[in-house]
Amino acid sequence: MTRLYLDHNATSPLRPQCRDAMLDAMSAPRNASSVHAEGRAAKQLVERARKSLSDAISCPPTSVVFTSGGTESDHTGILGFTRGGPKVERIFLSATEHPAVPAAAAKSGLPVEIVPVLSDGTLDLCWLDQRLSNYDPQTEGAFLLCVMLANNETGVIHPVKEAAAIARKAGGYTMVDAVQALFKVPLDFSTLGADMLCLSAHKAGGPVGVGALVVTPGLGFEPLLGGGGQEENRRAGTHNIPAIVGFGALAEVAKPSEYEALAAIRDQIEAGLPDGATVHGASAARLPNTTCLTAPGFKSETQVMSMDLGGIAVSAGSACSSGKMKKSSVLGAMGVPEDETATSLRISLGWDTPPDAAERVLATWIPEYKRISSRAA
């Protein structure tokens, strides 16, 4: 039986179109800053990728700053903006941000306030509206609001447009981490209302190690990395041409419509769950590829291991660099009791997910759950 990989929110296998474009890009020396013919050809490749990405998300090509991925984009957005933009005095973070965001905010040395989420996982807009209704940028200073577009563990989609509008009205700026949302749902930077957008290629079938920070034209900004003048002095370092080319190829082939079709498989999994099992964030708008379920008494580690033995790769929430599983702060922020966070499982589908994936998941998961439940009874 072939393995079934359902951990696309950790990383998605490289698409063949990206691999082919990357192999081609690797076949010659390529430094886009060199003035000779090889260098000029490399620059063309970078600019084509920039155009493909900017077309896909509706922003000017000059707004795209290529980085090494989501983590760097989050750091560059927060630190680059708070050091080089208007005088920012405070940062607001949604309670379910990826750890890269609070880590970067902590490095800024600015006071941080957490914006809570509701029990369905979506940003508490009432809290935000109330907190900012009397906000006076003259006395309290400008602020940066960081809110992710879609959560990596639950797939829950935050009302980012509304949040950015509230922030703007109060004189603030907004950075949106769209690492998980890119290409999985429609994304239009020109109408989002955000000042910065953080992207990564590897969650939708592009290469690992490349991402982008999209910056509104004219936004004040200090580069995180200095040295060379690459990316219009916004990110120094020789361009990773094969990875950037792979990202450009991804922008040409990956489409939200392809992910929309995965919702049927996701729904089939959820509909087939036995009594007792529930889905976190089920009532909110979610990414079509993600489900985060919980089943009483069925520990996350046991679920992951039994699925793995059954040939299916899934995860207990977010992938963690140590390889160990830790308690989910995302579910905690949603008010999920601790015993339930210890029994959650994330299944994330992607571009190569076969149509029979739901049947295989249920055929492996249900007997194991029944076995554990009958032992506990």
Residue 41's SS3 state is: helix
DSSP state of 77: I
The piece of 15-23, 127-135, 172-180, 260-268 that touches ligand PLP (CB under 6 A) is 172-180
Is residue 69 within the footprint of ligand PLP (CB under 6 A)? Answer: yes
Among 292, 298, 263, residue whose Cα is nearest residue 280 = 292
Is residue 6 within the footprint of ligand PLP (CB under 6 A)? Answer: no
Is residue 180 within the footprint of ligand PLP (CB under 6 A)? Answer: yes
Judged by CB under 6 A, the residue of 18, 59, 166, 179 near ligand PLP is 179
Is residue 71 within the footprint of ligand PLP (CB under 6 A)? Answer: yes
Residue among 145 and 295 whose Cβ is closer to ligand PLP: 145
Residue among 94 and 306 whose Cβ is closer to ligand PLP: 94
**Strands (DSSP E) found in 273-371:** 278-279, 290-294, 312-313, 344-348
Judged by CB under 6 A, the residue of 96, 122, 200, 303 near ligand PLP is 200
Residue among 18 and 277 whose Cβ is closer to ligand PLP: 18
Is residue 98 within the footprint of ligand PLP (CB under 6 A)? Answer: yes
Is residue 187 within the footprint of ligand PLP (CB under 6 A)? Answer: no
Q: What is the dihedral of CA 263, 99, 217, 173, to 10 degrees?
A: 100
Question: What's the closest the beta carbon of residue 341 comes to ligand PLP, in angstroms?
Answer: 18
Query: From CA 364, how far away is CA 134, in angstroms rounded?
Result: 54
Question: What's the closest the beta carbon of residue 99 comes to ligand PLP, in angstroms?
Answer: 8
C-beta separation of 173 from 192 below 8 A: no
Is residue 199 within the footprint of ligand PLP (CB under 6 A)? Answer: no
Q: How many chain residues touch ligand PLP (CB under 6 A)?
A: 14
Is residue 211 within the footprint of ligand PLP (CB under 6 A)? Answer: yes
Question: What's the closest the beta carbon of residue 73 comes to ligand PLP, in angstroms?
Answer: 8
Rg (C-alpha) for the chain, rounded Å, is 21
Residue 94 pairs in a beta bridge with 115
DSSP result, 79-135: IIHHHHSS-EEEEEEETT--THHHHHHHHHTS-EEEEPB-TTS-B-HHHHHHHHHT-
- The residues, any chain, with a CB within 8 Å of residue 265's CB and separated by 6 or more, are 349, 353, 355, 357, 358
Question: Active-site residue numbers?
Answer: 320
The contact set with ligand PLP (CB under 6 A) reads 69-71, 74, 98, 100, 148, 152, 177, 179-180, 200, 202, 211
